[in-house]
Structure 1
Amino acid sequence: MNRHEGALPVGFDEPVFAEPWQAEAFAMTVALHDKGLFSWSEWADALSAEVKKPGAASDGHDYYEHWLAALESLLSAKGVAGKSDVDALAAAWERAAHATPHGKPILLENDPGPTAGRIRTA
């Protein structure tokens, strides 16, 4: 047995996601694929298009921003949610987060904004 056999690759013990929203975006993508909203080929094409856009970081630190943009693009292309829908929901979640006391779960119902109660999430 050599000294590398059974050893983890370099960086393997580091977190896969730097932020919780990255894991959530990943999970949403997998769930929407599993529901048949898009094929992996469609996903690969959408993600590739985003990563190849001018201004992408050469070190890849913005990878999940591209991931999220690709997901939003597919949601729009499939007629599930347009950019304005996604932006309105994101803003509602942001307002709800600011209105929620520290340590309490953030719920969309906590959104005190102008669209409170009018955004459908299911």
Structure 2
Amino acid sequence: MVVSLQESGLFTWAEWADTLGAAIRPADGPEAPANYGRWLAALEIILAARGIADADTLDARRDAFLRAAEATPHGLPIALENDPLFRR
């Protein structure tokens, strides 16, 4: 997803590196492991900064995904339509 968004022009690789670096090593806290959670945090920061998705929207989508994952039978792809609260 990060590669696709960068290739579409949403941000430069330098912006991504700076944002990811700050997510891994924040100025006001200890260094965090460079894992998927840090990548996701960096992507969410960029999406919010660009006005694509604010924190409330991201939180709602994350919650919907977790509910959908819980409701999806093992081995099947997770689809947001599997969220018991999904509405069209």
Q: How would you bin the TM-score normalised by the shorter chain?
A: 0.7 to 0.9
Q: 1:63 aligns with which of 34, 47, 63?
A: 34
Structure 2 Cα separation of the partners of residues 39 and 102 of structure 1:
37
TM (normalized to structure 1)? 0.63
Matched residue count: 85
Q: Compute the displacement of 1:74 (Å).
A: 0.3
Structure 2 Cα separation of the partners of residues 70 and 117 of structure 1:
29
Of the two structures, which has the highest relative contact order with CA contacts closer than 8 Å and spacing of 6 or more? 2
Q: 1:46 aligns with which of 6, 13, 19?
A: 19
Q: CA RMSD in A?
A: 1.4
Q: Compute the displacement of 1:83 (Å).
A: 1.5
Equivalent residue letter for 1:55 = P
Between structure 1 and structure 2, the one with the greater Rg is 1
Q: Compute the displacement of 1:102 (Å).
A: 2.2
Structure 2 Cα separation of the partners of residues 92 and 104 of structure 1:
17
Q: Compute the displacement of 1:99 (Å).
A: 1.0
Equivalent residue letter for 2:2 = T
Structure 2: runs of 5+ lacking an equivalent: none
Q: Percent identity?
A: 51
Task: Point out the structure with the larger helix share.
Answer: 2
TM (normalized to structure 2)? 0.85
Structure 1: runs of 5+ lacking an equivalent: 1-27
Superposed, 1:89-104 pairs within 5 Å as: 89-104=61-76
Q: Compute the displacement of 1:92 (Å).
A: 0.4
